[in-house]
Structure 1
Amino acid sequence: MRKKIFFILAACGAAILLAGAVVFFQFKGNAVRTESELFVSAQADYGQLADSLMPRIRHRAAFRFYARRIGLADSFKPGHYVLSRGMNVIRIARMLKLGLETPVRVTINNVRTPAQLAQKLSRQLDADSAALMQVFTSPEQAAKVGFDSVTFFSMFIPDSYEFYWTVSPEEFVRGMKREYERFWTPRRDSLRRRSGLSRLEVLTLASIVYEETRQSDEMPRVAGVYVNRLNRGIPLQADPTVKYAMQDFTLRRILYKHLRFPSPYNTYINRGLPPSPICMPGKNAIDAVLNFEKHDFIFFCARPEFDGYHNFARTLDEHMKNARAYSAELNRRNIR
């Protein structure tokens, strides 16, 4: 009888230990076999969160139990979360409850207008393009970071940055202001003072250079042409400013009728630089302006080889010769 009782008790103890081990494994064991990203929008409800999360984890019953215990349905935080291999359900639930987000890489480049910037950011952040655009066009928001509604766009330096996915448009602007100040190192500001240009003027000229050529090795020479024109009081006569003034970036050939388009951005009818950048210039273009090539060229024209480079000229006669060669090639290729 004693042996029987002993075996029963032993069996019960083993069952309890086994059940405890199972429960422990369910809550403390590896619930994530493959790392993945979980995006929880501020507009999402708990059902949507669960629908997105459950296919990515194991021990789902344990997660549901623990989530109910901590009231996760009413307290989860939106954000971008990384489900790392080896995470257990307790850690996952707490991560969502405490909002322990992982930043995302936000890349901005090849942008000409605030509307394009808002569209690009809306694909990388939880904010929608309308909310972003409202901030990007707000004189009050511009003033808070030391700009106005015209120059605000010049604050955004193209690069990849880390932000929380749920960052608000206002927080994003403040973050970009910090990045703007970080970009302007003492060395860059020293080079800028040598050129006699303000930060805004550097960025505006860089935007024209960036639209004229994407060849980094040619950018300092193109910048030098425009610096020469500015110093001599010659209109810049930059074709990209005409496209921007007309808001027609599909133009492949600038004709005489386009040159008279009335706009403060049209450098054929206005001397000096436009009021603000005509695009978001790459850092290579900005540094090219800061390190502009000193020469005596005042003209340049795309080469008829269509290789992305330009022919430079010191005199109008030389420039017209280059322009005729390029125009003839445009005609030959039937580019209108």
Structure 2
Amino acid sequence: TSISLFLPNTYEFWWTTTPAAFVERMAREHDAFWEGARTEKAARLGLSPVEVSTLASIVQAETIKPDEAPRIAGVYLNRLRIGMPLQADPTLKFALGLDSVSRILDKDKLVDSPYNTYTHAGLPPGPINMPEPRNIDAVLNAERHDYLYFCARDDFSGYSDFAKSYAEHLRNARRYQRALNARRIYR
């Protein structure tokens, strides 16, 4: 997709730059970024650069903590590896155009969209945002672990609690839901 062509950075352009020259420059920047080691790492993961960017966009939407991004990437790679749906709430927010909600409801999981990772297996068709290079690198250097689940911590620190089993995940999720309710965050 076209959004995966762009990398957040500071670029200098003159007001006389044509649209074609702009796109050409972005393509050169993209190719330079993906040259060599990153493309090799993506291939070892069984992903294309666009797929890495797509997963990185989900990771970026999941956490504000750079040190946690490789762990979250590892969760999603584990799910992809075993054929488990990603079930990524940020993809639902994207599909529904809900930028500012703090809580995904069960009815949201019914949206008919290729970006609904609750009902569609694998990665969505493209990125849900423009992932920063650090999140692309978090996917390419994802943590290796046995976690399949994660949920925001109930202390609202921005960190997540990780779980290997669904039962453990449900305990974490219920704790977080109680914290949301206590703060009267219903949507």
TM-score by length of 2: 0.97
Displacement, 1:185?
A: 2.6
Deviations 1:81-112 (A, max 9, x none): xxxxxxxxxxxxxxxxxxxxxxxxxxxxxxxx
Determine whether 1:172 maps to 2:22. Answer: yes
Aligned to 1:93: none
Aligned to 2:166: 316
Determine whether 1:272 maps to 2:122. Answer: yes
Q: Structure 2: any 5+ residue segments left out of the alignment?
A: none
Aligned to 1:246: 96
Aligned to 2:154: 304
From 12, 33, 42, the equivalent of 1:192 is: 42
Query: Structure 2 matches for 1:68-147, cutoff 5 A?
Result: none
Displacement, 1:166?
A: 2.1
Aligned to 2:55: 205
SS at match of 1:312: strand
Determine whether 1:229 maps to 2:79. Answer: yes
SS at match of 2:12: strand
Determine which structure has more spread, i.e. the larger CA radius of gyration. Answer: 1
- Distance in 2, matches of 1:247 and 1:167, equals 32
Aligned to 1:163: 13
Deviations 1:235-288 (A, max 9, x none): 000000001001121221100000111100010110100000000011110000
Displacement, 1:170?
A: 2.0
Displacement, 1:193?
A: 1.5
- Distance in 1, matches of 2:16 and 2:107, equals 47
- Distance in 2, matches of 1:191 and 1:181, equals 15
Query: Structure 2 matches for 1:17-32, cutoff 5 A?
Result: none
- Distance in 1, matches of 2:44 and 2:91, equals 25
TM-score by length of 1: 0.55
Aligned to 1:282: 132
Deviations 1:129-167 (A, max 9, x none): xxxxxxxxxxxxxxxxxxxxxx11110011111222321
- Distance in 1, matches of 2:59 and 2:131, equals 8
Q: Structure 1: any 5+ residue segments left out of the alignment?
A: 1-150
Query: What letter is aligned with 1:208?
Result: I
What root-mean-square deviation, in Å, do the aligned CA atoms of Structure 1 and Structure 2 show? 0.8
SS at match of 1:163: coil
After superposing on structure 2, the runs of 4+ consecutive aligned residues of structure 1 that deviate more than 2 Å are: none
SS at match of 1:161: coil
In the comparison of the two structures, how many residue pairs are matched? 186
